[in-house]
Structure 1
Amino acid sequence: MLVFFANLQAWSQTPLNDLVEKVNFKFDSKSRTTGNSWKDVQLPTNAIYGRFIISKANLGKYSKVIFTSYKDGQQQVLTGGQLREWGNSSAYFNGNQLSVQVIQDSRDKGHVFLEMEQMIVGYPTRGIKSQCGSTDDRIPSNDAAVGRIVPVGCTGWLITNGKMVTAGHCTGSSAQILEFNVPASNSNGSIVHPPVKDQYPLLTSSLQTGYPSEDWAVYNLGTNSETGLTALAAQNKSFNVVQTNAANTIRITGFGVEKSSNNPYNPERNQTQQTHTGPFSSATGTKLYYATDTEGGNSGSPVIDEATGNAIGVHTHGGCSTGSNSGTNAQLQSFWNAMGLGDGNPDPGTYCVSKGNNVSDEYISKVVFGSINKSSDGGNGYSDFTATSTDVALNSTTTISITPTWTGTQYNEAYSVWIDFNQDGDFGDAGEQVFTKAASQVTPVTGNITIPASAKEGTTRMRVSMKYNAVPTSCETFTYGEVEDYTVNITNGTTPAPTYCASKGNNVSDEYISKVVFGSINNSSDGSNGYTDFTSTSTSIAPGSSATITITPTWTGTVYSEGYSVWIDFNRDGDFTDAGEQVFTQSATQSTSVSGTISIPASATTGATRMRVSMKYNAVPTSCESFTYGEVEDYTVNIGGASVESAAKNLPAETVVLYPSPAKSGQNINMRSNQAGQVYTVMSALGRVVLSGKVSDSNFQINTSKLGKGLYILRVGKSTRKFLID
């Protein structure tokens, strides 16, 4: 007996043009004598697709059901949990020859079975519907955030928090599916379904709607049964919804029907994605009006402000015969609240709710990320650990480690991590899902998280989620697993450089500093204008060690007596006035060079700091002085580690030490190691090789003059190190 779908009633935006029927179909795996049950299904000859409806099932925790199409080989494998998420139904399968198979896993000790009594069967297009307007100016489109809802035959679209929006009158059918990447229809207009990996179940239990008094609906979507991904993660596109009437041109993108009376008529476009723009007409607090071409099936399409790309409502009714189509305004407060988008100006402190309802079997027991090292017992399925934080720098990469705990049986767990990089109160923007891991029993799971250069500096939210057998979405409430929130402080990766006092000689026509040698600094110069900033020239020296400085003057004519002084800002506080920071003096002399030993105190602050070298006619200069004759030069000294020579000799094999990091743009990176003779490569954060060469000795410098700001990775021998250029 054939039973027609009850919701094939007429509507201003009609459902699928295909004739859809429920047919009686009997399959009971309990009647089989083996652990595995199989049945081929032959649909009527003129059927073009089918979908299985399950009446009863017990698949335990490990057993599976497999649905297959013989037409294109598409297959869907569902566990018991996934079957419930799909509303006790399968995906849509093209063709009229299908199969169903139950695979019993030996770990499920109870009786595994599956019963079906009905199927949804689609047939070619029948009948001609009315048309709104005399011409059809829609064109094919491929907006990744817009999908087709079947079997009802409407349009749905993703918003930034991963929820799906559609029209309220599109909610009449249970067990609906949202399809993306929809292929062209057949030459007779009958629809073709995309692969299983592009189909997502609408979670009926999550439905919020104002229908019939208010025509809007909001759903959560289940994960894809084949990839484990959410629709938002797979499509990587969503609509930003705003509350405004300030639009001039409206775009409607959706899955309207193609009528034989259309001019032109393109049956292969029937119920595939098409788009059109038209003028905005008017608005009320609840409705939007616009003259944009639509057809039956466009119900639920986003009403898009063409100038900004933002969605401002949801399309519900055609009406071009009277001048305007219409939709529900996002300014309708009940609609806005259901979308969970705050007040239109998101509060960074208010994030969507996500939790696991049951942590008796599994939970997150440890998260390590930067200075976060948090152990916990699962709580009640959600834990607010935002008092626990770490600093991460722009362009930096940090490893995250998540450890699950099972109280008994070890189950497959999937993971996802988000960081709200633009601090707008959600995790729906592109790139904010920073880590995913498909379901497995691996413990712990680890991955690298890179902070993009475009991230907003300051504190923001990081969400860590673990869900049984499927990758979780950011705003999901699920049965088994846990969610934890943390705070991440995004920095520019550097401590602001101290500001030093000015010092210079006002006249270098008679004498100037022509050469400074200290450690690896060996700098010749011509005196310039009395002060020269050579802070891009540096040397490295360890606390407790010493090195010789040599300063050579040049006289352009008469040889005068010159006094000298050198300072190093050992505590990096932006001055040279602290005890011990004047490290060398020489009273006025006509010597052609002066030399002395500079000792670095063991208490010196490690890192890059300023060294000032000053020469003054006939007197020892002070650190912040402007004088008549002579010159001042500033350099960078990197303080840290043991002395280069002794440390390199005592390094274990494969040890590589880089400094400074972060380094200033153009500043060489020093490498001390036991890797002399080895080939090194420097890669960008994206993995592209930007430098390569051979390590010449234990104290080797990498020339970074051709590298821009960002994170880089050095590989030499078996060692890998990271350094930052700012």
Structure 2
Amino acid sequence: MCLPLLNWGQTGGLPQHIKASSLTLRAGDNIGKSSAQVITKTISEKDAIWLRLFFKDVNLGVNSTLTITSKLDGAKQILTTSNIKDWKNSSAYFNGDSVILELSIAPGETAIGLDVMELAVGDPSLQIKSQCGSVDDRVDSNDAAIGRIVPIGCTGWIITNGKLVTAGHCVSSRAEIIEFNVPKSNPDRTIVHPGPEDQYPIGNFVTPYTNQPSQANDWAVFTASANSLTGQTPIQAQGKSFNVVQSAPGNNITITGFGTDTGIDNQTQQIHTGPLSSVTNTFVRYRTDTTGGNSGSPIIDTATGNAIGVHAYGGCTGSGGSNSGERATIPAFWDAMGLDGGGNPPTDECTGDVSSFPFSESFESNLGQWKQATSGDDINWTRNSGGTPSNGTGPSAANDGSTYLYVEASGNGTGYPNKRAILNSPCLDFGSLTSPKLTFQYHMVGSAIESLAVEARTNNTGNWVSVFNRTGAQGSDWNAADVDLSSYAGEASVQLRFNAVTGDGGQGWQSDIAIDAVAIQNGTGNPDPSCPTLNFNDFQINAYANQDSSGNNSSVVSGGSGLSLSNNTWKYITLNYNVTANTVLEFDFSSSAEGEIHAVGFDDDNALTANRYFKVHGTQNYGVTNYDDYTSGTKKYTIPVGNFYTGNMNQLVFINDNDAGSGNTSIFSNVKIYEGSCGQSATAESLISALESVTPILGDESENSLLNTRIHPNPAKSRFSIYINDYVKGNINATFYSVLGRKVGQKELKPGVNIVSAQSLSLGKGIYLIRIDSEDGLSTQKLIIN
């Protein structure tokens, strides 16, 4: 009997050394109860490729924070009491040899501080590569579901339920991180880390390998905490996952991962496809190129794109052998992934054959032809009339008739946290439909609302595909959903499912989610439901990005149908909406005086994205300016947003930018968002085509408050002033350079007038460049000293 070649685990650990540190950041004893304090220190390690910090004796109180900034590329991470636990008292990876630590101590908080006990210091790498055959056939790849695990130097990947998979020998109790959207390495092979927004601390993991190391046990399933900057988990941020199946693969195997290499390709994502060598119920072997760092990569059946296991071992040579990994058929491995009922489930297949439409259900007597899932979820949907048992969550009554369905989130460990409820449709025959669609009412209110999704698949096989998704509270009223299913037109067997997840944390019981009035019909049949006006009383009005001035500068008017903004004001409401090619934004606008920017638009983060804001008035050439034609009175705007951009958004932003600070009030009222038809019998496509389809005209001015920075007098002799706009946010730092680029001084500034002594900075006669940095941007000024 021939035995396979002895294999070796394919890790590619980051070259590094650990160095003890005695750096301490602690609050002063004399800080006043109403005073804040900021302590700034710098850590530098000569010739380090990257740095990572490990802390002890941490106390960040309730509102105090630690901000870490790379001096090389400006990447930031903000740590708090809650998220530093997820990071196991460690930081993200920061490129370069120096980082700035800023401990911000909130007023009234005492004994705040921490110690830096160790530094992980990135070293140059001297490793070489190996692969099947004489030629390395891997090429660049950018699969969003696959990440790099550091410092061990492995690969991990997301599966359909949000969990992650890697090899068993790739996990340990030491704080590890999985990185996505990894950039190319440096020419000398030293790796470059993505920003902290793409790094996730690895949490719990399940693997038998640590107690019983063997090739059959070399798999691991793990979780990753939400990112400390974006608040998103890997599957939410990346928007992609692998469907894992237990079926045997075809003739070719694809491996995608972060193997070692030469130059800029070292430990960056690469892919190769090679022939299958053999397959058993435990192992799969293949002649596909892999190197150190590929451990944990998904084993992909090239014919289907499904993952069938996890790569763990190298064994290829130029003349024979094979690389190998563990199949998903290993019972403990499959159970740990928790995929029964998800991905490619063998159960909960749809039955029946609904071919007469409209097909509607309001759950007045029972579930009708809809069924509770028998696997893959934790709790069931419940029929109810009137309010739900829990205060502060759930509807007060049905939307249609007297009964609705909802998910009861009460009960720590039973109703929450993160408990899933799935409701499956019967088989739907869309063979005669040209534009099928799903309409329903949904209700999501509570302090810990998680998510509601509608997913679809065909012929009882393949991935569940999300066709509708809402996350977070959606107001106190029932909301109408109109879901386009035209991509499934002509399909003889389509199944839909409602997939709800309850909330997390101590208030997780406040996450009841309800549905009612579910209907499936052809899009050219009954008219779409009317599009209601937003009621601003149903939303919290939030300060947006770093642009909103302090004070009570917004109010809800006209019984909830309008939002009034005064002075220098940027606000947003949380509104999860999938902007499609047919999405229309309609509103009335009026303003008492012209400021710099009056605009509205969608966004998906809390940072400025100028090409998403539709400017209707103002002196500044900023944003999408196609509709910049307001003069006076109240004017109605109907903007085909889908002509300009599409995608999943979670904020609706309202702008009344007036850096002068006061003197104008703008009102956005009767705001409607709809998919083209808005209660009319015509199709969304025909109505959207009737609106003006134009090329975006983008303004060429940045919303950078530092643009108004002034130096006086200039030229100066011994003293001069630097004026900073009052609305610049955060820390403001000025760095002085000679005309030859040598750094000669640094000074912290504040909004308003800053008096500077040339003598205190040792500035002699000459010409200098001043680089001024803040959260609002960057400004470079020239200074002449006579």
The answer as to whether partners of 1:390 and 1:487 remain within 8 angstroms in 2 is no
1:18 aligns with 2:19: no
Cα distance change, pair 367–210 in 1 and its aligned pair in 2 (3 A): farther
- State the TM-score, normalized to the length of structure 2: 0.53
Tell me which of 224, 227, 230 is aligned to 1:224: 227
Tell me the amino acid that sits aligned with residue 70 of structure 2: S
Amino acid at match of 2:445: T
Change (3 A) 1:707 1:280: same
The alignment status of 1:419 with 2:454, answered yes or no, reads: yes
5+ long unaligned stretches in structure 2: 1-6, 349-372, 381-389, 427-434, 528-560, 562-633, 646-676, 692-786
Aligned partners of 1:365 and 1:377 also within 8 Å: no
Structure 1 position 56, deviation (Å): 3.0
Cα deviation for residue 133 of structure 1 reads: 4.0
**Unpaired stretches in structure 1, ≥5 consecutive residues:** 1-9, 259-265, 356-361, 406-412, 469-477, 498-534, 537-653, 655-677, 690-700, 716-726
Distance 1:702 1:121, change over 3 A: closer
Opposite residue 249 of structure 1, the aligned amino acid is: N
Task: Determine whether 1:465 maps to 2:506.
Answer: no
Deviations 1:135-188 (A, max 9, x none): 211001101111100111100000000111000000135221111111010010
Question: How is 1:250-269 mapped onto 2 (pairs within 5 angstroms)?
Answer: 250-258=253-261, 266-269=262-265
Task: Provide the C-alpha distance between the structure 2 equivalents of 1:268 and 1:222, rounded to a whole number of angstroms.
Answer: 29
Give how far 1:28 is off.
4.0
Pairing of 1:200-215 with structure 2 (within 5 A): 200-203=200-203, 205-211=204-210, 212-213=213-214, 214-215=217-218
CA distance 1:334–1:22, shift in 2 (3 Å): farther
Query: Take 1:397 and 1:687, find their aligned partners in 2: how far apart are those partners?
Result: 24
Secondary structure class of the residue paired with 2:84: helix
User: Does the alignment pair 1:29 with 2:26?
Assistant: yes
Q: Which amino acid aligns with 2:323?
A: N
Tell me which of 282, 294, 300 is aligned to 1:298.
294
Corresponding residue of 1:342: 340
Asked if 1 retains the 8 angstrom alpha-carbon contact of 2:524 and 2:683, the reply is: no
| SS of aligned partner of 1:233 | helix
Q: Which amino acid aligns with 1:323?
A: G
* Correspondence for 1:85: 86
Are the aligned partners of 2:441 and 2:516 in contact in 1 as well (CA < 8 Å)?
no
Cα 1:452/1:349, change in 2 over 3 Å = farther
Residues 349-498 of structure 1: matches in 2 within 5 Å? 349-353=374-378, 365-367=393-395, 371=400, 372=404, 378-380=410-412, 382-383=414-415, 395=437, 400-404=442-446, 415-422=450-457, 429-431=464-466, 434-437=469-472, 449-453=481-485, 460-467=497-504, 484=512, 490-493=518-521
Counterpart contact for 2:442–2:479, Cα < 8 Å: yes
Does the CA contact (< 8 Å) of 1:302 and 1:314 recur in 2?
yes
User: Is 1:67–1:75's contact at 8 Å kept on the other side of the alignment?
Assistant: yes
What secondary structure sits across from 1:125 in the alignment?
A: coil
| CA positional deviation for 1:273 | 0.2
Distance 2:678 2:391 in 1: 46
Superposition deviation, residue 293 in structure 1: 0.3
Q: Deviations over 1:362-406 (max 9, x none)?
A: 996225895558697843365389799999x9635667553335x
**Aligned equivalents of 1:425, 1:65: Cα separation in 2:** 50
1:641-686 superposed Cα distances (whole Å, 9 cap, x missing partner): xxxxxxxxxxxxx9xxxxxxxxxxxxxxxxxxxxxxx999999995
Question: In the TM superposition, what is the alpha-carbon distance from 1:105 to its structure 2 partner?
Answer: 3.0
Contact map agreement 1:148 1:154 (CA 8 A) in 2: yes
Residue 118 of structure 1 deviates from its aligned partner by 1.2
Distance in 2 of aligned mates of 1:394 and 1:706: 15
- Cα 1:341–1:102, aligned 2, differ >3 Å: closer, same or farther? same
State whether residues 56 and 115 of structure 1, in contact with CA within 8 Å, keep that contact through their aligned partners in structure 2: yes
Rounded to whole Å, the distance in 2 between the matches of 1:216 and 1:376 is: 35
- Asked if the contact 1:300/1:314 (under 8 Å) is kept, the reply is yes
What is the aligned partner in structure 2 of residue 191 from structure 1? 191
Do the aligned partners of 2:70 and 2:96 also contact (CA within 8 Å) in 1? Answer: yes
Distance 1:400 1:702 in 2: 18
Match of 2:273 among 277, 297, 307: 277
- Kept in 2, the 8 Å contact 1:286–1:328? The answer is yes
Paired AA for residue 394 in structure 2: K
Aligned to 1:571: none
Q: Which residue of 2 aligns with 1:248?
A: 251
What do the CA deviations read for 1:242-276 (whole angstroms, capped 9, x no partner)?
Answer: 00223111000000001xxxxxxx41000000000
Instruction: Give the Cα separation in 1 of the matches to 2:420 and 2:134.
Output: 60
Alpha-carbon spacing, 1:234–1:346, altered in 2? closer, same or farther (3 Å): farther
In 1, the alpha carbon distance for the partners of 2:54 and 2:458 equals 43
Cα 1:332–1:401, aligned 2, differ >3 Å: closer, same or farther?
same
* In structure 1, C-alpha distance between the alignment counterparts of 2:111 and 2:459, rounded to whole Å: 49
1: CA distance between counterparts of 2:243 and 2:423?
Answer: 30
CA drift of 1:190 comes to: 0.2
In structure 2, how many angstroms separate the alpha carbons of the residues matched to 1:301 and 1:458?
Answer: 31
**Partner residue in 2 for 1:157:** 157
Counterpart of 2:483, as a letter, is: I
Cα shift at 1:127: 4.6
Matched with 1:565 is none
Distance (Å, rounded) in 1 between the aligned partners of 2:460 and 2:378: 12
Is the CA contact 1:389–1:488 (under 8 Å) kept in the aligned structure 2? no
CA distance in 1, matches of 2:116, 2:291: 35
Contact 1:19 1:126 in 2 (8 A): no
Aligned to 1:568: none
1:547 counterpart residue number: none
Question: For residues 325-380 of structure 1, what are the alpha-carbon distances to aligned partners after superposition, in whole Å with 9 as ceiling and x for unaligned?
Answer: 0000111111001000117414333234599xxxxxx9962258955586978433
Match of 2:717 in 1: none
Deviation at 1:209, TM superposition (A): 4.3
Distance 2:423 2:298 in 1: 39
Q: Is the 8 A contact 1:418 1:434 kept in 2?
A: yes
Distance in 2 between the 1:353 and 1:80 partners? 31
Amino acid of the structure 2 residue aligned with 1:274? Q
> Which residue of structure 2 aligns with residue 124 of structure 1?
124
Structure 1: how far apart are the matches of 2:313 and 2:44? 35
| In structure 2, distance between residues paired with 1:443 and 1:366 | 11
Percent sequence identity over aligned pairs: 36
Answer yes or no: is the 8 Å Cα contact 1:146–1:254 preserved in 2: yes
Q: Which residue is 1:169 aligned to?
A: 169
Q: Specify whether residues 386 and 165 from structure 1 end up closer, same or farther in structure 2 by C-alpha distance, changes over 3 A only.
A: closer
Is 1:382–1:482's contact at 8 Å kept on the other side of the alignment? Answer: no
8 Å contact 1:51–1:92 — kept in the other structure?
A: yes
Which amino acid in 2 is paired with 1:185?
Answer: S
Which of 310, 315, 320 is residue 319 of structure 1 equivalent to? Answer: 315
Counterpart of 2:72? 71
How far apart, in 2, do the equivalents of 1:184 and 1:382 lie? 45
1:424 shift after superposition:
11
Q: Which residue of 2 aligns with 1:62?
A: 63
> Match for 2:77: what amino acid?
Q
Q: Is the 8 A contact 1:419 1:434 kept in 2?
A: yes
1:483, 1:423 → 2: CA distance?
A: 30
